[in-house]
Structure 1
Amino acid sequence: EMLVYSLVGAGLPAGILKVAPVRLVNGPSRCAGRVEVFLNQQWGTVCDDGWNITDAGVVCRQLGCGTALSAPGGARFGPGSDPIWLADVNCAGTEPVLSQCRARLLGVNNCNHGEDAGVCLFPWVFADAGISEVAQLRLVNGPSRCAGRLEVFHNQQWGTVCDNSWDLQDAGVVCRQLGCGTALSAPRGAHFGQGSDHIWLNNVNCTGTEVALSDCRARPWGENNCTHREDAGVEWARFGQGSERIWLDDVNCTGTEATLSDCRARPWGDNNCDHGEDAGVVCSEVVQLRLVNGPSRCAGRVEVLHNELWGTVCDDSWDITDAGVVCWELGCGTALSAPGGARFGRGSDRIWLDDVHCTGTEAVFTECRAHPWGDNNCNHGEDAGVPKGLPWRR
């Protein structure tokens, strides 16, 4: 029988450690060896029945080890001597940790230690062949190991990543590689402080399906026209598990509801969840936005508040899509046009943003791509504006 061995421990009493630690032993490095799982206060092995490259990939992700090359069975890294905790492991490949994969009940198997499963990682197995390695990653200067300034290890030196084209898909690959779950945001502009070493990567362009950041397209190592003011970062939200009732499941909001209770969901208390699946919310940092010198609150010169100072937006590349995001954030409906040339008068303070480029799907204006704060070649004769919109919301 296949049972979910995951956050409830597959048959273990409630309260057991919900993300089981894993390790690779008896190999050439911490990222290659026999797979062992820590449960019931004891390390044990994994049977190779059903063991494949997808399962090995989840182990590598949990350990922050990059891409799995192979999933050797037959005690390739020697037989273990403790319990055989798992058999018939069946990972989808998207799990952040092995303990979220399906597997046979703990200790219930017909295996022996001659069938212990292992993992081989790309860099070490092919080092002699001269194949490029999966770059090590770390997140620094943040509140946890899963949030901070992104740094990559290349040529025996740590360096940063430039935020040109840096987006949530790229950050998601980093989180997956580090075993950090789902990326919350992809902060740019040295949000977690400026690095001081090499800027190793620029124009990173991940599809979102890559296992490691080094699988993504980017400029050659070290080739960039960036400064450390453009260092990229990653944020992951995690707030721990609740202990009371789980009231809602399968919540499905359209985005137009005034309150969460207006959204579609299962009946109150009807769920198939545990507290390892508790949902959270992180709201974007409050950056105030306003339209001034126009006929109403929904038409005027665009101004944003940054560093406790209001400033304007340059009209370079300013278009109807950008104006639409402003209208959406202010609850002003659909933008009719995107006037530039200081149509609503010239500002007198800082010009905070230039070359704004919104896709139209952003929830707030500050999620749009733009030059770093204050970096522009404009004057106030180019201040951007928004006219009053139609009464419609996406």
Structure 2
Amino acid sequence: LGYTGASSYSRAGSVSYGTDYLSMKWDDVNCASSGYLSIAQCSYSTIIDSGCVNSNSYDATVYCYTTRIWNSSPFPGMVRLQDGTYSNEGRVEVYCNGQWGTICNDGFDSTDANTLCKQLGYDGYNSFDHTSRINNTIQPIWSTNMYSTISHRCFGSGNSCPSASVTNCSQLNDVILTCRDISSSSRQTVTQSTCSGLTSDSVSNGAIILSRNNLPSPSYYYGTIRVYYNGWGNICDDYFYGYTEANVICHQLGYTGASSYSRAGQTSYGTDHLSMKWDDVNCASSSYLSIAQCTYSTVIDSGCVNSNSYDATVYCYTTRIWNSNPYD
């Protein structure tokens, strides 16, 4: 169901959730590990005990914690299904660069579908399509022509996170997927830790990219600033951020300098939804070539913690730094 775990469990006759009037389908459900991701990984019997046959008061109930599993220490290459009718279906989203994004259906095949379903704890896939039938908000597209083999159980087994969103695909081509439990003889033993660590973001701390309307692109010369520091995030614009720091950011992006700088709340670049990574950025010289040469704090001012309207923005000149007085 997408939650971190169970706060409590009981039976219908002992709680106030009301009474279902459906027949029993499973009995003797037994999961070998609490780290499993799907009930399809567990054993069960379709022979129902006589006490359960005659009374819905024995229906199993659960009370989950409210924290979503993907909000609790997500890792690069983590996968989830969103906006489906049931928990085994939906739009495929993968976590890369500190943000959830989608997978383009270009080159996507049954082997890829099986890999993703196995990562989610299912034995295989039932069907896959693209999102013309499921509405999608604007998100980065993190993968196209996904690569899998029949032995893969994780997105990260054959794929890595890109530094920026795929640009040759549209949200209408986002993969949607339905997973299923095929056979008790092929039950998956994956947990979250099985796929953790296989994929790494293909960027290093101090990398910079600009975004507009929550979509980053290496081709942008103006927008909201994203910095990579153990994941992508924003820079708080308070105190030290000014023309000196804006010039350095533009230099790092390959431009001659900054035409202007501001904050997200005062521009029309849209709103990012990432957390702040740096505050109090201070560059001793506007001729620096990388923000890594400047000082910064990872302790974020309370005003920036609570609002993306303070995300630092920049508008660079369009002249490339290597076209302005290059030297031997």
* TM-score of the aligned structures, taking structure 2 as reference length: 0.34
Bigger fraction of residues in strand? 2
Which of structures 1 and 2 has the larger relative contact order (alpha carbons within 8 angstroms, sep 6+)?
2
Bigger fraction of residues in helix? 2
